[in-house]
Chain A
Amino acid sequence: MDMRRAHPGYWNSRAESIGEASMHLLGGLTQFYAFIAVILRYVVRLQWVSRPAVMHVLIRQIYFTGVQSLPWMVTMIVLAGATAVYSVVPFARQLNDPSLIGTLLNALLVQEMVPLIVGIFLLARSGVAVVTEIGHMHVRGEDMLLQSLGISTAEYLFLPRLIAFGLCGLILTMLFAGASVWLGGLMLAWTNEMNFTQFLLEARRGASLDGMLLLVAKGLIYPILGCAMLLFQGARAGHDPNQIPVCTTRGVLWGLMLVVFVDVSIALFRSLL
């Protein structure tokens, strides 16, 4: 037996390090909650609507996150979405149950796959840019300039980016789901696998209001949570340029973990209901 493990000090130090890590995690979560609460307070006040400076940032962020990512989104729709739809039909045929087409499309593609793909895509593409930009602004001391001008960093820097992520995430999720089903149906018709109208009828049969609401909720929540984590990490870069890559990696990983955690929580909650 390992003598080190037999020593009571070994287990004490282990317990201490676990305790420290737990306290560190809890402290981080509390700070994250406080960070989101400040931004939400500004969202609810609605003063940002009448501030042209904030609206300019919002429009620029929507253009970068939503419009400029469209070519990538179309590529993913063709490569992942339509291909997934195309693969569902032969599977349902093998089981001699055409009603499975709609059920599988709704349960797997629309409710699970699409919001996750869009959430991860936004994290990887626009999220990295956001956390780097915020980090650089802190390093250059631009947060101090904003404070000296009486401009709230939460309202001017964080709020428009969070809203843009939510809005673009929702629209891109709906676009991804709709375009994938249509393109998959067209591919099936083109390869004579299935009549397009019949495919749409089957897809429609499997769709439900609950499923659509869940798609909307996930399409909105995942990008917002991911973006909030990225902004939180970006704001922690301080004035040290070496911290920017560290915060970027940490922001993307924690954002991803948060999205997966919420996805699992929703799945568990629904199974309990």
Chain B
Amino acid sequence: MIRLCWKPMRLLDIDIPSGQILRGEKQRLVMPRRYQFDWLKQMSASGSEVCLETAEGDIRGDGEAFAERVCCMLYQRGMLANLNLRENILLPFLYRGRSEEMARATTELQLVAERLDIADKLDDQAGERSVYMHALISLARVMLLRPDFIVVQDVHTGMPPHRQDIFRSLFCDVVEELGVGLLYLSTSAQEGSGLEFCQSLEFSSAEEIL
């Protein structure tokens, strides 16, 4: 059984208890955005407190192997501005440089792009894009990477309502199809993801930065 686990963590001025998610489970941590960033930073920092427990052994959050099985979808951080959309989606494959994986991803990309309605935009420079487009590119990457877990950081917020509806539907379908475990970091319990969480924990700080 694969599990995404984390030890107790100190995020700025609040303490997060240890936790775990099984594959197929959905859990939500509600906390202000700067705590979310700190959580993500600590997850991929060296000596990470987050790890993936697998039958082959534990994989710590600071390595390339962890990123292959745990995919992140970050709020308005789905793309590098100086690459085009195709390169952005294929970036993890281009970095690893494994030819079989690369060939599979390139073949599947067209189908994924058509499903997300971005097929005609793949060769456009990323530059400055909307929250919706950042979220779509992150989702396209998840669909190609097929991870065991997804860590989502508030990707549903800040979209126009009709875009949010489209994205919510696409996102729920992909999560169900892949059967992944999901950790949702959100600023609000009404984050608009449309997911049913098995557990939702709320953390608040002593001082909010507006």
Contacts and interface: CB of A to CB of B under 8 A. Distances in A.
Nearest to A152: B64
Interface in B164-195: none
Nearest to A136: B81
Interface size class of A (residues with CB under 8 A): 20 to 34
A46 B126 CA distance: 29
A53 B78 contact: no
B110 interface: no
A56 B95 CA distance: 10
Contacts of B87: 56
Contacts of A140: 77, 81
Nearest to A150: B67
Contacts of B67: 148-151
Interface in B67-117: 67-68, 72, 74, 76-82, 87, 91-92, 94-97, 102
Interface string B23-65: 0000000000000010011001000000000000000000111
A141 interface: yes
Interface in A135-188: 136-137, 140-142, 144-151, 156
A53 B77 contact: no
Interface in B112-145: 141
Nearest to B95: A53
Given A137-B80, A140-B81, A142-B80, A148 B96 contact: no
B166 to A, nearest CB: 23
A53 B66 CA distance: 19
A255 B56 CA distance: 47
Contacts of A146: 80
A133 B82 contact: yes
A150 B64 contact: yes
A148 B97 contact: no
Contact of B95 (A133, A137, A142, A156): A156
Nearest to B134: A145
Contact of A144 (B40, B94, B102): B40
Contacts of A156: 95
Contacts of A137: 80-81
Interface in A44-84: 50-54, 56
A149 B91 contact: yes
Contacts of B92: 149-151
A144 B151 CA distance: 13
B154 to A, nearest CB: 13
Contacts of A149: 67, 72, 91-92, 95, 141
B150 to A, nearest CB: 11
Contacts of A133: 82
A147 B44 contact: yes
Given A148-B44, A148-B74, A54 B81 contact: no
Contacts of B63: 150
Looking at B68, B79, B97, B102, the one whose CB has the most chain A CB atoms below 10 A away is: B97
A244 to B, nearest CB: 14
Contact of B94 (A51, A136, A147, A150): A51
A68 to B, nearest CB: 15
A142 B141 CA distance: 16
A137 B37 CA distance: 16
Contacts of A51: 94-97
Contacts of A52: 94-95, 97, 102
A151 B72 CA distance: 13
A128 to B, nearest CB: 16
Given A133-B82, A140-B81, A150-B66, A145 B95 contact: no
A54 B44 contact: no
16 contacts: A51-B94, A51-B96, A51-B97, A53-B91, A53-B94, A53-B97, A54-B95, A56-B87, A133-B82, A137-B81, A144-B37, A145-B80, A148-B67, A150-B44, A150-B64, A150-B68
Given A52-B95, A56-B94, A145-B74, 14 more contacts: A53-B91, A53-B94, A56-B87, A137-B80, A142-B81, A144-B74, A145-B77, A145-B79, A146-B80, A148-B72, A148-B151, A150-B64, A150-B67, A151-B95
Interface of A: 50-54, 56, 133, 136-137, 140-142, 144-151, 156
Q: Lowest 8 A-B CB distances belong to which pairs?
A: A150-B67, A148-B72, A53-B94, A150-B64, A53-B95, A147-B44, A51-B97, A52-B94
